[in-house]
């Protein structure tokens, strides 16, 4: 580890904390449906969309209606992208002449982008036409992100409203977030990326005669426009197979810093927005503090392990940290930091190959996802996932002191706790179930590239990434098979919507409740005790559930690495 590396990490955290309030205030304006300066330009677009789509943005929806409209919209989007991918062979803007995508891959990819996962069973530059990238995939990057933020708003309203029947309007939330937050940032962001060397062209590729006289074909395309929303919307599906490790996606250390910041910036702002919505910004800061503790612990372990390197290679006369799968321009620190950021959030973009990380360095990204990506988390999904844990934490605190638990003025009762447990339980159920299944079936065992414990880690990582809607991979796994495409597609769908529906039910149930002013008997949910309790609950739940699987995979791998055991 170097001082320069730690400076990068602390500068990153510093910029993020400085952005929390301004971004949070902007989000709060959208949460409330108030006018922004951008309405002067984009207001007519918003009103036009409502008019053409027959939407009344002032219609307040019950949680059921909110949920049904959200599900139906996502189903239509899924079918839309499936159709584009299947038909890409006969559609325009296909400079490299790629054929239609196979049915199982199209299902997997459409599900993946709808659920904000962006798992890549395909190599972007060798599978997707420019039209598929733009019309099939970029659109989901915006709308799955906007859906996530809309859902977070709905849950915030559940906490903030008193004796109310409704939690907002889904269509208005999605449209406003897209028009007044995601799109304007992405336009500026994409231009910065282009200036730094990210291509933005309709050409499919360019032929180069290298200095040694060999022909090299470089894939190009409208990369920057997709790259911007890929990061900002915590989507993570790269234009190229190598994702943000590819020089055309992430050409230098400056774009790398921006990419990492843009993964976290909305999630961080949402913690502030939550505090603002419930009338006490300290509630938001407490959440952010707990997240940052978990984050920095993860960064420390991964950075330390990657900098220490692989003792097996050291014996061969190779010096220094683990550079397998890493780019020289980022080095160890920026690669380790990126890996922890992308898995703490549900982004899944990678600037280094997680599969080639040291055993424990790669375990932290895995563990981050197993916790449910609640450390900042995906846009919207992170904060609503975290609030489910907060509900459990006040419940546990209530049990200890023998009082009805309360959180930000709302009594937490049996119904909310049951729903929260239901939502949280889906993660281990599917991850462990599908991993176990794939560890015994031939179709599952055909997947891993690496043998031994690391091969098991590849399977475990895939289902963890799918259910948690991350999208990064231990990419040695050959996942573009009917078996993995189908199973991972199902895992992604369940992991997204089987959390969202109980979460919206909680929002509806909370909105209907009375507000209780904080009294001397309330358990405070702002101080150090609360932050400690939150971190403890998250680690105990996550740790106890997944420790056995981690022991079989990364921990066994680590012990083998120390002994010099090869597979």
Parallel, antiparallel or unpaired: strands 215-219 and 406-407? unpaired
Q: Using the rule CB under 8 A, which residue among 178, 302, 435, 470 binds other proteins?
A: 178
565 is an interface residue for other proteins by CB under 8 A: yes
Contact predicate 100/88, CB 8 Å: yes
97 is an interface residue for other proteins by CB under 8 A: no
CB of 193 to other proteins, least distance (A): 9
Q: Using the rule CB under 8 A, which residue among 220, 412, 417, 531 binds other proteins?
A: 220
Q: Using the rule CB under 8 A, which residue among 37, 97, 317, 521 binds other proteins?
A: 317
Locus of tokens 């239901």: 422
**416-420 contacts: CB < 8 A, separation 24 or more?**
416/391, 416/506, 416/509, 416/510, 417/391, 417/392, 419/502, 419/503, 419/505, 419/506, 419/509, 420/388, 420/389, 420/391, 420/392, 420/502, 420/506
Cα gap 396→63, rounded to integer Å:
26
18 is an interface residue for other proteins by CB under 8 A: no
Q: Using the rule CB under 8 A, which residue among 29, 117, 225, 470 binds other proteins?
A: 225
Nearer to other proteins, 22 or 48 (CB): 48
Cα gap 562→567, rounded to integer Å:
13
CB of 430 to other proteins, least distance (A): 24
HEC string for 160-199 = HCCCCCCCCCHHHHHHHHHHHHHHHHHHHHHHHHHHCCCC
Question: Which of these ranges, 246-254, 401-409, 508-516, 520-528, lies near other proteins under the rule CB under 8 A?
Answer: 246-254
Contact predicate 13/296, CB 8 Å: yes
Q: Using the rule CB under 8 A, which residue among 322, 464, 480, 549 binds other proteins?
A: 322
Q: Which residues does residue 206 pair with via DSSP β-bridges, in sequence order?
A: 218
CB of 351 to other proteins, least distance (A): 7
411 is an interface residue for other proteins by CB under 8 A: no
CB of 358 to other proteins, least distance (A): 5
Q: Which two tokens stand for residue 316?
A: 């061969």
236 is an interface residue for other proteins by CB under 8 A: no
Q: Using the rule CB under 8 A, which residue among 268, 283, 302, 310 binds other proteins?
A: 310
Locus of tokens 């020089």: 247
Locus of tokens 């309030």: 21
CB of 256 to other proteins, least distance (A): 8
CB of 111 to other proteins, least distance (A): 16
72 is an interface residue for other proteins by CB under 8 A: yes
CB of 148 to other proteins, least distance (A): 15
138 is an interface residue for other proteins by CB under 8 A: yes
Question: Which of these ranges, 110-118, 429-437, 450-458, 479-487, lies near other proteins under the rule CB under 8 A?
Answer: 450-458
235 is an interface residue for other proteins by CB under 8 A: no
Q: Which two tokens stand for residue 438?
A: 């794939």
270 to each of 134, 299, 562, how far by Cα in Å?
A: 28, 22, 42
> 99-122 burial, b for 16+ CB within 10 Å, e for fewer?
ebbbebbbbbbbbbbbbbbbbbbb
Question: Which of these ranges, 179-187, 271-279, 368-376, 405-413, lies near other proteins under the rule CB under 8 A?
Answer: 179-187
CB of 505 to other proteins, least distance (A): 14
221 to each of 85, 133, 384, how far by Cα in Å?
A: 17, 9, 35
401 is an interface residue for other proteins by CB under 8 A: no
196 is an interface residue for other proteins by CB under 8 A: yes
Indicate the helix (H) or strand (E) that contains 531.
helix 528-550
CA–CA–CA angle 31, 373, 135 (5° rounding): 65
Interaction mask 455-474, other proteins, x per CB under 8 A: --x----------------x
Binding-site size for other proteins (CB under 8 A) equals 128
Nearer to other proteins, 225 or 268 (CB): 225
355 is an interface residue for other proteins by CB under 8 A: yes
CB of 546 to other proteins, least distance (A): 19
Is the C-alpha dihedral spanning 119, 123, 125, 129 positive or negative? negative
Question: Which of these ranges, 199-207, 366-374, 492-500, 514-522, lies near other proteins under the rule CB under 8 A?
Answer: 199-207
384 is an interface residue for other proteins by CB under 8 A: no
Q: Which residues does residue 205 pair with via DSSP β-bridges, in sequence order?
A: 219
Nearer to other proteins, 187 or 544 (CB): 187
Nearer to other proteins, 334 or 390 (CB): 334
439 is an interface residue for other proteins by CB under 8 A: no
- Nearest CA to 223 out of 146, 134, 141 is that of 134
Residues 260 to 289: which contact other proteins by CB under 8 A?
none
């Amino acid at each position: 580890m170097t001082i320069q590396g730690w400076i990068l990490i602390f500068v990153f955290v510093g910029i993020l904390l400085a952005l929390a309030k301004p971004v949070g205030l902007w989000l709060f304006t959208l949460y409330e449906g108030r006018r922004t300066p951008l309405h002067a330009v984009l207001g007519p677009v918003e009103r036009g969309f409502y008019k053409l789509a027959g939407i009344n943005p002032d219609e307040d929806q019950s949680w059921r209606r909110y949920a049904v409209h959200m599900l139906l919209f996502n189903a239509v989007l899924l079918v839309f992208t499936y159709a584009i991918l299947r038909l890409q062979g006969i559609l325009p803007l296909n400079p490299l002449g790629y054929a239609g995508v196979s049915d199982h891959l199209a299902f997997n990819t459409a599900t993946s982008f709808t659920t904000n996962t962006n798992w890549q069973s395909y190599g972007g530059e060798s599978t997707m036409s420019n039209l598929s990238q733009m019309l099939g995939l970029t659109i989901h990057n915006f709308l799955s992100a906007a859906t996530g933020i809309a859902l977070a708003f709905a849950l915030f309203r559940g906490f903030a409203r008193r004796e109310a029947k409704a939690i907002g309007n889904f269509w208005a939330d999605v449209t406003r977030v897209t028009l007044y937050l995601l799109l304007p940032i992405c336009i500026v962001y994409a231009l910065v990326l282009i200036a730094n060397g990210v291509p933005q062209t309709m050409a499919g590729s360019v032929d180069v005669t290298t200095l040694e006289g060999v022909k090299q074909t470089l894939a190009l395309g409208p990369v920057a426009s997709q790259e911007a929303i890929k990061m900002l919307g915590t989507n993570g599906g790269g234009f190229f197979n190598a994702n943000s490790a590819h020089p055309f996606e992430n050409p230098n250390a400056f774009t790398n810093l921006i990419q990492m910041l843009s993964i976290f910036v909305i999630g961080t702002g949402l913690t502030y927005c939550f505090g603002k919505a419930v009338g006490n910004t300290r509630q938001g800061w407490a959440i952010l503090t707990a997240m940052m503790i978990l984050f920095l612990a993860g960064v420390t372990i991964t950075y330390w392990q990657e900098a220490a390197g692989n003792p097996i290679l050291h014996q061969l006369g190779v010096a220094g940290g683990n550079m397998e799968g890493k780019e020289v321009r980022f080095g160890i620190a920026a690669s380790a930091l990126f890996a922890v950021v992308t898995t703490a959030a549900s982004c899944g973009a990678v600037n280094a190959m997680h599969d080639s990380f040291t055993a424990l360095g790669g375990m932290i990204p895995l563990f981050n996802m197993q916790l449910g990506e609640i450390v900042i988390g995906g846009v919207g999904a992170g904060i609503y996932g975290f609030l489910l844990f907060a509900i459990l934490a006040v419940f546990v605190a209530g049990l200890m002191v023998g009082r009805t638990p309360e959180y930000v003025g709302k009594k937490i009762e049996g119904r909310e706790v049951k729903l929260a447990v239901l939502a949280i339980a889906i993660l281990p159920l599917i991850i462990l179930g599908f991993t176990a299944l794939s560890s015994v079936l031939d179709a599952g065992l055909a997947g891993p590239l690496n043998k031994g414990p690391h091969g098991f880690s590849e399977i475990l990582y895939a289902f963890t990434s799918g259910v948690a809607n991350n999208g990064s991979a231990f990419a040695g796994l050959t996942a573009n098979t009917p078996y993995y495409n189908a199973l991972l597609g199902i895992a992604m769908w369940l992991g997204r919507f089987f959390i969202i529906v109980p979460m919206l039910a909680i929002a509806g149930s909370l909105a209907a409740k009375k507000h209780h002013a904080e009294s001397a008997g309330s358990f405070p949910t702002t101080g150090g005790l609360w932050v400690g309790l939150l971190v403890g609950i998250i680690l105990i739940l996550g740790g106890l559930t997944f420790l056995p699987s981690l022991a079989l995979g990364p921990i066994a791998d680590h012990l083998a690495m120390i002994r010099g055991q090869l597979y």
